[in-house]
Amino acid sequence: MGLGHEEGFGAPCLKCKEKCEGFELHYWRKICRNCKCGQEEHDIPSSSEEDRKVGKLLEDTKYTTLIAKLKNDNIPLYKRNVMILTSPVPAKKNITIDTVTYEWAPPVQNQTLVSPTHIFSCSSQELEKQPVAVSEGAQYRKKQLAKQLPAHDQDPSKCHELSPSEVRHMEQFVKKYKREALGVGDVKLPGDVEVRAPDENNLKNGGGRGTSSAVGTMERSPNQKASQYSCYRCKLNMKEGDPAVYAERAGYDKLWHPGCFVCCTCGELLVDMIYFWKNGNLYCGRHYCDSERPRCAGCDELIFSNEYTLAEGQNWHLKHFCCFDCDCVLAGITYITVNDKPVCKSCYMKNHAVICQGCHNAIDPEVQRVSYNNFNWHAKRECFLCSCCSKCLIGQKFISMEGMLFCSVACKEKMMS
């Protein structure tokens, strides 16, 4: 299975507009060929594409009420809870209606008590993270959907040239995390929830390790106040009337402030409250998968083959340990790391090498050089010398001025006169 080479579509990069005129997908790296930024920086995925991705993620789970299938289409669609809030605004002659559309809101029954405005005002989210349509918050949500729930972590067809064995192992992995870890947060007022603890059968199946949903019948005290409930993450008490987020797989004896419902690895708010529960911690999809499988630093896909390589502290498919600039395979040849990316020597010399102030040629990374005040020289007699009298300055005291070197004050004054 493989990814097609899609070219020339999408908007310029939101991160480096001056470098990128338009998105051009690299055929296996999941990045733009022009600017090397991720696809999420280009505002490429449409809402329908993201809804299909999340719909497929929730397929064959207990959350089928959140998905729907269109006629003549077997791909499930995520039924996002889009909410439109209206409020009258007094005007000189007539009353106008101010409308705010949230591209996502918690799917709860009591929209008055647990509205998006209430959820977001109770959390630590900045204003720009609220998913209001055509806003920075909507863009943030879309970017987090791409980062936290990459399509290539659940769909083999989105991966690059998997073998039949790798496809089979990936499908088994996806079924396992849907069965044991995947969940969607539930927003309620603490006083409206029955506290249910894991039963003995659940503990035997791993519930005590936080890998399966908690079920039971231990009810809360009817006189318990919201202030007696504390957030599982920050340990602070809930305020009266404030909503909380529950994660069924953690058990309903645990709750979170909306702003504390975050991935334990990246600290980002769990997009659309989709979580993965493992060993007493909440994870986003990406970092849950990272905790279970190695991820290739080249293609960003999980590794399901038995053979892969470890280099620069990262995992790589054997075929993807390549130069970040030209894609040549780096096995057995010299490479240099640039911004945590491996680059072959040829591309390094062409695109990244520092320039010698003496001879104005690129400096080979394997030869000695002298660096001073962001200037560089070959450590050779013909390069590191006085700009006035050409005396070799290797091992000598010198004066530096705007990239020029002088052996003495006299040579500096002579050159400046």
What confidence tier does 29 reach under pLDDT thresholds 50, 70, 90?
confident
DSSP state of 18: T
Q: Which of 50-64, 83-97, 101-115, 193-207 has the highest mean pLDDT?
A: 50-64
Tell me the torsion sign for CA atoms 371, 372, 376, 379.
negative
pTM of the entire predicted model: 0.81
Strand partners, 97: 88
What confidence tier does 207 reach under pLDDT thresholds 50, 70, 90?
very low
Q: Give the Cα separation of 76 and 67 in Å (integer).
A: 6
Q: Give the Cα separation of 315 and 301 in Å (integer).
A: 10
Q: Give the Cα separation of 321 and 277 in Å (integer).
A: 32
Structure tokens that stand for 138 in this block? 């909507």
Q: What percent of the chain has pLDDT over 70?
A: 79
What average pLDDT does the segment 166-179 reach?
97
Please determine, for residue 149, whether its predicted confidence score (pLDDT) is greater than 50.
yes
3-state secondary structure of 140: helix
Q: Give the Cα separation of 183 and 169 in Å (integer).
A: 22
Containing H/E element for 184? strand 182-184
Q: Within 10 Å of residue 153's Cβ, how many Cβ atoms?
A: 24
* Cβ atoms of 391 and 407 closer than 8 Å: yes
Q: Give the Cα separation of 67 and 301 in Å (integer).
A: 26
Q: Give the Cα separation of 120 and 256 in Å (integer).
A: 13
Q: Which of 28-32, 117-121, 214-218 has the highest mean pLDDT?
A: 28-32
Mean pLDDT of the chain, nearest integer:
83
Backbone angles phi, psi at 198, to 5 degrees: -60, 140
Please determine, for residue 159, whether its predicted confidence score (pLDDT) is greater than 70.
yes
Chain segment 280-309, per-residue pLDDT in tens: 999 999 999 999 999 999 999 999 999 999
* Cβ atoms of 146 and 45 closer than 8 Å: yes
3-state secondary structure of 122: helix
In degrees, rounded to 5, the angle at the alpha carbon of residue 237 between the alpha carbons of residues 235 and 183 is 65
* Cβ atoms of 232 and 97 closer than 8 Å: no
Chain segment 325-381, per-residue pLDDT in tens: 999 999 889 999 999 899 999 999 999 999 999 999 999 999 999 999 889 999 999
Chain segment 182-203, per-residue pLDDT in tens: 999 999 888 777 655 444 433 3
